[in-house]
Amino acid sequence: MKRIALLGMPNTGKSTFFNRLTGASARVGNWPGVTVDLLGAKVLLGDETVEIVDLPGIYDLHGFSDDEQVVRHFLENNPVDQVLIVLNVSQLDRQLSLVLQILQLKMPAVLLLNMVDEARRHGISVDREKMSEMLGIPVLGMSAKYGDGYKEAHELITREVRNSEPVRLEKIRELLVRDDEIENTMEHVFTSTVQVPAQLSNTLTEKLDNLFLHPWLGLPLFFGVMFLLFQAIFFLGAPLQDLVAWILDQFRVLVLDPLFSNVPAVLNGVLLDGIYNGVGTVASFIPIIIMFFLFMALVEDSGYLSRAAFLMDTLMSKLGLDGRSFVMVLMGFGCNVPALMGTRVMRSRALRLLTMLVIPFSLCSARLQVFLFMIAALFTADQAPLVLFSLYLFSFTTVFLTALLFKGKYHSEEAFILELPPYRFPTLRQMILRGWHETRHFLHRASKFIIAGVVLVWLLTNFPPGVETASAQTWAGRIGEFLSPVLDPIGIDQQLTIALIFGFVAKEIVVGALAVIYGSEGTELMGLMANQLDWVQAYSFMLFTLIYTPCLSTVATIRSESRSTAFTIVSVAWPLALAWVVSFIFYHGARAMGY
């Protein structure tokens, strides 16, 4: 099977073209010599199936960044029949160097000049026939966003790959000539083929940047925009999430329960309470994740997320992070899973790992449900807002503390270089494809871990046979008793311990677990808990829930994104230890003050 490598600089629309070319067939894979996942797909070009591999956006083939090393390793370890080079036609004065480097490697290539719609608005024109003649490769203009020229590009790629032969390279850096020679050639090609007006007009971007990058108004506006974004995500996603839960519940009641009514009780429990509930746990993430990526595609592809990263970079750099890390942490307040997946935009592996380590401390919507329940049960209406606000402060504090403590271990030498693209509005097709790709990747990655975890919890709360479900006599109850010496000093009793075991699978399960453990629900449950717990115990429990081990889907995502078992263990052990220390200090400090 022939292989095509898709290459280009960042913000050239390379991934947009890849999505248009491959549709919904993209998959994540690992190639020999490459230590990270790359996006690939098999497509039919003419009468031949061809593999397309989307390589990271890079500026230079002989650079030292993680992405540039990934591209070199891929080209050196995998035969490639054709290279598709995607450039922004409005920035050819500095992007043609990548084309000239590929040509030095004597690789069969096709040059696609993307964003011709923007070039027309700026008055930029390119003599593509002359450029093709000077470079010795086919050159075509297109707009991957709107599809202009896509048909011609598809036909050209099909034609060229049919006659190409695979090329495998060795020691790419040794094959590249000096930069000054490339610069001279690039200037000659550019001046001979590209017509640029004396002054480019981009008044909309300039006006918006004057507002969004204002030294005083920029950050408040950013927080306002993100607040509205999360409000929109959960305003639209929550009803859909409830609908999915209702459909799953009705399917079980009307179909599965009657269907499995005659099977042995143990098998019935494993299949329905274990596996089916595991699938339901995964499915409950789908509406929020879809909405999240739809809206984040809007923010990111519009160019605004780059501005937010720029605004926060100075503060975050002192913590060993950068501006993008702050954006990912903020995303984590919706759901940790897509925020962790969003760290792929970072070029440095060390920076990615440190960012992934702090994201789970974000007070996600699942934890928020637990806190709202506990606050309503134990605190007055006047106290409630202050208690919830204090938990958000603790969330940020743990993020900053963790970054400070671990920045030496996960130290990134790479400078934060950020290109601010012009503001663009993504098409609905782009947003839907983005949401679909990320959702499918999430389901494929996390579903097995979730199912295994829920089955394990069911076994812990239903065995040994003949005892009451989730009681102290079950294995879960015995675990709670075993952990008493550890959790009693922070005010967490055996019943709350069992709920925390459920919370490891998904924090949404905690409230339901409390209802099972206490044998009541709703206001009756809140009243019962208010009689058995005081506010110090409740707040210590909430602190522990905020900080301790992330949910199973988050752990699965960390393992998948980091590709490191050791790092995953650290991401589980450190929050657990920190949660105990913080809760211990609070609990005994409050008791010492007479509460």
pLDDT, tens digit, 9 for 90 and up, residues 102-115 = 998 889 999 999 99
Q: Is 460 found in the same domain as 404?
A: no
The mean-pLDDT minimum among 478-487, 497-506, 543-552, 565-574 falls in 497-506
Instruction: Flag whether 419 is in a domain.
Output: no
Q: Which two tokens stand for residue 83?
A: 């290279």
- At residue 591 the predicted structure's pLDDT band, cuts being 50, 70 and 90, is very high
Q: What is the mean pLDDT of residues 211-235?
A: 80
Separation in Å, CA 31 to CA 39, 75, 186, 284: 10, 10, 32, 32
pLDDT at residue 201, as a whole number: 57
426, 297 Cβ separation under 8 angstroms? yes
Q: Is 226 found in the same domain as 133?
A: no
Number of Cβ within a 10 Å radius of residue 496? 25
Question: To 10 degrees, what angle do helices 475-482 and 428-462 make?
Answer: 90
| Radius of gyration of the chain measured on its C-alpha atoms | 27
Range of the domain at 96: 2-195
Instruction: Flag whether 245 is in a domain.
Output: yes
Contacts of 370 (CB under 8 A, 6+ apart): 503, 507, 510, 511, 542, 545
The mean-pLDDT minimum among 208-217, 338-347, 401-410 falls in 338-347
- At residue 564 the predicted structure's pLDDT band, cuts being 50, 70 and 90, is very high
What's the CA dihedral at 359, 552, 290, 326 to 10 degrees? Answer: 0
| Top-confidence residue, 173 or 589 | 589
- At residue 133 the predicted structure's pLDDT band, cuts being 50, 70 and 90, is very high
237, 290 Cβ separation under 8 angstroms? yes
Q: Is 252 found in the same domain as 182?
A: no
Q: What is the mean pLDDT of residues 429-448?
A: 66
According to DSSP, residue 80 is labeled: B
High-pLDDT (> 70) share of the chain, %: 86
pLDDT at residue 377, as a whole number: 86
Q: Which of 5, 8, 10, 7 lies closest to 300, judged by CA?
A: 10
Separation in Å, CA 154 to CA 48, 116, 123, 483: 13, 16, 26, 62
Q: Is 167 found in the same domain as 64?
A: yes
Q: Is 264 found in the same domain as 316?
A: yes
Helices within 23-140 (DSSP H only): 66-77, 92-104, 116-122, 128-135
33 pLDDT higher than 90: no
- Give CA–CA dist 324/352, Å, rounded: 10
Q: What is the mean pLDDT of residues 350-359?
A: 95
Separation in Å, CA 454 to CA 458, 459, 505: 6, 9, 7
Q: What is the mean pLDDT of residues 201-224?
A: 81
3 pLDDT higher than 70: yes
Task: Provide long-range contacts, Cβ within 8 A and 24+ apart, for 42-46.
Answer: 42/1, 45/154, 45/157, 45/158, 45/161, 45/162, 46/158, 46/162
Phi, psi of 546 (to 5 degrees): -65, -40
According to DSSP, residue 467 is labeled: S
316 pLDDT higher than 50: yes
525, 547 Cβ separation under 8 angstroms? no
Q: Which two tokens stand for residue 104?
A: 């030095």
- At residue 163 the predicted structure's pLDDT band, cuts being 50, 70 and 90, is confident
Task: Please tell me whether residue 556 adopts helix, strand or coil conformation.
Answer: helix
Instruction: Flag whether 270 is in a domain.
Output: yes
According to DSSP, residue 464 is labeled: S
22 pLDDT higher than 80: yes
Q: What is the mean pLDDT of residues 231-259?
A: 82
Q: Is 93 found in the same domain as 38?
A: yes
573 pLDDT higher than 70: yes
CATH number (domain holding residue 74): 3.40.50.300
Question: To 10 degrees, what angle do helices 383-406 and 365-378 make?
Answer: 140
Contacts of 271 (CB under 8 A, 6+ apart): 260, 263
- At residue 29 the predicted structure's pLDDT band, cuts being 50, 70 and 90, is very low
pLDDT at residue 519, as a whole number: 55
Give the end-to-end CA distance of the chain in Å, rounded to a whole number: 71
Q: Which two tokens stand for residue 58?
A: 């890079």
Number of Cβ within a 10 Å radius of residue 253? 10
What's the CA dihedral at 14, 15, 20, 24 to 10 degrees? Answer: 160
Give this prediction's pTM.
0.68
250 pLDDT higher than 70: yes
Residue 80 identity (one-letter amino acid): V
Instruction: Flag whether 420 is in a domain.
Output: no
- At residue 89 the predicted structure's pLDDT band, cuts being 50, 70 and 90, is very high
296 pLDDT higher than 80: no
- At residue 37 the predicted structure's pLDDT band, cuts being 50, 70 and 90, is low
- Give CA–CA dist 281/453, Å, rounded: 10
pLDDT at residue 267, as a whole number: 87
The mean-pLDDT minimum among 24-33, 58-67, 419-428, 442-451 falls in 24-33
Q: Is 145 found in the same domain as 28?
A: yes
**String of DSSP letters for 368-391:** HHHHHHHHHHHS-TTHHHHHHHHH
Instruction: Flag whether 374 is in a domain.
Output: no
CB neighbour class for 564 (10 Å; exposed up to 12, middle 13-18, buried from 19):
middle
Instruction: Flag whether 179 is in a domain.
Output: yes
Highest mean pLDDT among 171-175, 178-182, 511-515, 564-568: 564-568
Q: Which of 494, 496, 474, 476 lies closest to 484, judged by CA?
A: 494
- Give CA–CA dist 402/353, Å, rounded: 12
**String of DSSP letters for 137-178:** S-EEE-BTTTTBTHHHHHHHHHHHHHT---B--S-HHHH---
Cis before 360 (ω within 30): no
Instruction: Flag whether 202 is in a domain.
Output: no
501 CB-side CA count, 13 A: 27
Can you point out the beta strands (E) in 308-400?
A: none
| Top-confidence residue, 167 or 283 | 167
High-pLDDT (> 90) share of the chain, %: 31
- Domains in the chain: how many in total? 3
Q: Is 403 found in the same domain as 272?
A: yes
Q: Is 122 found in the same domain as 231?
A: no
pLDDT at residue 337, as a whole number: 84
Phi, psi of 60 (to 5 degrees): -155, 140
Q: Is 229 found in the same domain as 180?
A: no
- At residue 361 the predicted structure's pLDDT band, cuts being 50, 70 and 90, is very high
199 pLDDT higher than 80: no
Q: Is 294 found in the same domain as 161?
A: no
Q: What is the mean pLDDT of residues 124-129?
A: 94
**Average pLDDT over the chain, rounded to whole?**
83
Instruction: Flag whether 451 is in a domain.
Output: yes
Q: Which of 69, 71, 55, 37 lies closest to 560, judged by CA?
A: 37
465 pLDDT higher than 80: yes
The mean-pLDDT minimum among 214-218, 450-454, 482-486, 527-531 falls in 450-454
pLDDT at residue 35, as a whole number: 43
The mean-pLDDT minimum among 173-177, 254-258, 298-302, 434-438 falls in 434-438
pLDDT at residue 160, as a whole number: 92
417 pLDDT higher than 70: no
Highest mean pLDDT among 29-33, 395-399, 408-412: 395-399
Q: Is 29 found in the same domain as 143?
A: yes
Q: What is the mean pLDDT of residues 348-361?
A: 94
Taking only the tens place, the pLDDT of each residue in 519-541 is 565 677 788 888 989 999 999 99
142 pLDDT higher than 90: yes
Q: Which of 299, 345, 301, 302 lies closest to 322, judged by CA?
A: 345
pLDDT at residue 31, as a whole number: 44
CB neighbour class for 341 (10 Å; exposed up to 12, middle 13-18, buried from 19):
buried
pLDDT at residue 469, as a whole number: 74
Q: Which two tokens stand for residue 421?
A: 């693209």
- Give CA–CA dist 286/566, Å, rounded: 29
Which residues pair with residue 80 across a beta bridge? 167
